[in-house]
A and B are shown apart, each in its own frame.
Chain A
Amino acid sequence: MSNVSINIDGKEIVTQEGEFILNAARANDIYIPAICYLTRCSPTLACRICLVEADGKQVYACNAKAKEGMNITTTTETIEKERRAIMEVYDVNHPLQCGVCDQSGECELQNYTLEIGVDSQSYTVQDVDRASHDWGHLHYDPGLCIVCERCVTACKDMIGDNSLKTIARGGDPLNAEYKESMPKDSYAMWNKLNKSVIGLTNGTDVLDCTSCGECAAVCPVGALVSTQFMYKSNSWELKSIPATCGHCSAGCQISYDVKHTSVHNPDEKIYRVMNEWNYVSLCGAGRYGFDYENRDVVKDEVAFVKALEAFKKADTIKFTSTITNEEAFILETLKNKFGYKLVNDEAKSFQTFLSDYSAVSGTSLYGSDLKTSMNSNFIVSIGTAIKTDNPNARYALNNSLTTNKGAALYFHPLADPVVDDMSKNIVSINHKPLQEETALYLVLDLFADKSKLPTDIVEYLASFHSTKTITVTETIKEKVIQIVKEMKVNEETGEEEEVEVEKSKMVPKKVSKEVEVDDNRLLSMLGMADDFMETFAKLMKKKDTFSMIVGPDLYNHPNSKNLARLVALVEKYSEFELIMIPTLTNTLGVAMINELSDTAGSYAVGYNTDADFVLSGLGEGDLDMPAINQQEGTLTSINKSVNPTNAALPYGGYTLNDIANALGLNAENTIDYTVELGSIDGFKAEAFDDLPDHYTNAGEEIRGYKLESLSTSTSSDENVIKIDEALGLDGAIIYLANPVRQFTDFTKNTTNLDEKSGVYMSTEALEASELNEGDSVSVKTDNGELTANIVCDTKIAGNITVLPTFDSKLNSGALVNGYRFANASIQKV
């Protein structure tokens, strides 16, 4: 993409060729009204209010692309008339009860009506009955809907659920006179608007989606609102606390909207979560899982003294990665001072994976971020149940497929209908568990630059190829000449006699041909379709930016070291930009800050995890700790950025910093350690209060700072182990993954996220078995056994049974040996 300069309202601006005029204008602080356009999604062209004049021609700023030397006027007399007419049309039959609308005060219809100055109405049409619908977690009021289709666009282009569509409204057509009397575009817009409302694609009246609520967030009016927030509070009463979501490693920027609980209770309460939906999309856990705070905690001095005793007695600190960088730093400092062993298995495996990766790649961190994936047009995902491991990675995948005309390969044993439904250009390869190496070798084979790749790997890859002769049946049309006897009148004699006539016709005929084709044994090892290479050739057309997402399945794989090296080779010798999904919220931060041990000692203090003495933000331990939404601090995200988060709710108890101070450290607040993070490679010495937290109009994320990827010393050793073809689990398999919207015990503690914990089976697996939803089953592996009820999960397919990790009471982790898959027997009890 080259830079071009265009002129908008006399201002020379430089933008990329092919950028939409609207985005170019916004990036340069030039205002063009627009309702239906969503940054990062494809233009909808529903509102038509972004009309501008480009080189004397009226175009829509949201879908007209910038060309060198373009001259743009954002407003002319005709455009003003169009905009005025459009806003009048939107106000036709729109209810005037703004007082009881949840959007009032932040409503784009209110804003634009006032801005355009609509003080009288010229148009009218009889309305149809537009009763409201309760769609489950969302409430839709078609009477308020202006059918800008932003919800449909967000669901299709960003989220990938494709749950919403426009359906027919019925009712009177517009008065024919308007076609003559109205401005052209506003009539066309009204004509379309008057025929449609929003409906569900599944044909029922209840949403069956991944419940992210993004459609309600983008709704400019009060048509789509979250049922949990409806009529709870006016927007202007709420105070926004900028924060970073603490549920997964995506580290989305959110704001907690807080207000006093009620007339009688002045304590602050979180009413909802908002986001900058033009630049960041939340998942259901981020949006609805906000009330996980540790409530009504007071300073329990007895417990605090016991905690100090426990710290003096302990030789190990166990913790999870749902902590801030500062807390991780405190733990590290305590470790250095008192020689504790720090134990965090999941961060340890990620740390090991990263260092194995660095040994080949020469960089301490993977090279890319989710924004790069979103802007690429070919994505390969290996080793992650993408929609639940990191919903933002899923959105990046879907956005690349839909808006960049992208294609993708999704390698994962667990069949996922959500991923399959994103696009027809995504190929899911549901290989056997433990075959991740084969998948990576295939990626090397398909994409790596063989001229640079180490020769032994090239040779090894070549060993999978053979030519085979296959019989291809083709249908060809053949000319067939037949001799037909006909009765004809002999002209000379006048008698009828039999003559032979030649007739030709085209007849389809099947021909078998023997052709020599390349046979790649890697494909059959992974159980891929025979015609994959043809599909692949189609997918690869016009692709130039490649991105690879790898996930937690690889970190705990028995051959994780080899996988890390293969991943590094893919990044090094192909065009792929690499991104790794850290397992939990701050796994990346912990992996960088802490020196972790493999095994625990004799007496352990646990932070949010089981141990001899438990500090818990969940409110069930020996000493209470604040949850992430009650803390100031920084979290390290998948995008390698250190994001600040603020305390949305007050917390009255002791914090880890209080314990550290009592043990001889000295810091007034936990965030005093933010600047000290600079002593760790990759982090910067920046004070918490200096960290920025916003998006620019150009969509640039200015939050905290980016981790520096340091170059590490590498040996020239790029050896990788060959595939052990015996690897691969068959039979009944369990997989550790959470249902959509659940991550940890913190999400389980929230009131709005009501996913049942249990043994998740797909509809087809349940139908094939003799089990029913609700049955109590015992799941038994070589490592352990648990008993729980079956939950039917419509968001998975295939025969693999999924066990959640968000419910620590289930203790599903004890069933596997690190690697997330295991053979298991499932018996009804």
Chain B
Amino acid sequence: MYLDSQIAQLLHDEHQRTLDLMNRLEEAVTGRKAKAVPANDDAAATALLADINAELQATTGHHFNFEEANIFPALTAIGDVAIPYILRQEHDQLRNLSEYLAPIVEKARADGFTADSWTEFCELALELVERQISHIQKEEMGLLPTLSGLFEDDRDGELVMLYAEAS
């Protein structure tokens, strides 16, 4: 995908990475695979849990905080109030969901899943997938295209540096 703004392109690449993870997660917790609790030595499940853990602990939070601190105020300044309002609300919902899911993921990484914790994980994971995809859908269609022309080239470059430094 080609976007005029460097920061829009960076956020889009982040979305693509998150979606790849969400697609993997959805694959793991739906269909026939999801009927059996993964074994403790299941390499694919272990890798997925590590990636989910990283996503819940830092990556998404960084992405959300960056948008709230640097992108939304710029949109609000040009009179676009609706998009920041909706997206900020969805950030809060995703943060809230992450708070429920993170301890389950941490416990599963340490001790493996039980039948009950696997069921709970599947339910919360599916909700996370749905909310993340719905949120990214809004950002891809409603936010990123507005960033083209919103920032001067210098500021656009600064934002990319700022994002990289905070990662």
Do A and B interact with each other, yes or no?
Answer: no
Residues of B within 8 A of A (CB): none
Residues of A within 8 A of B (CB): none
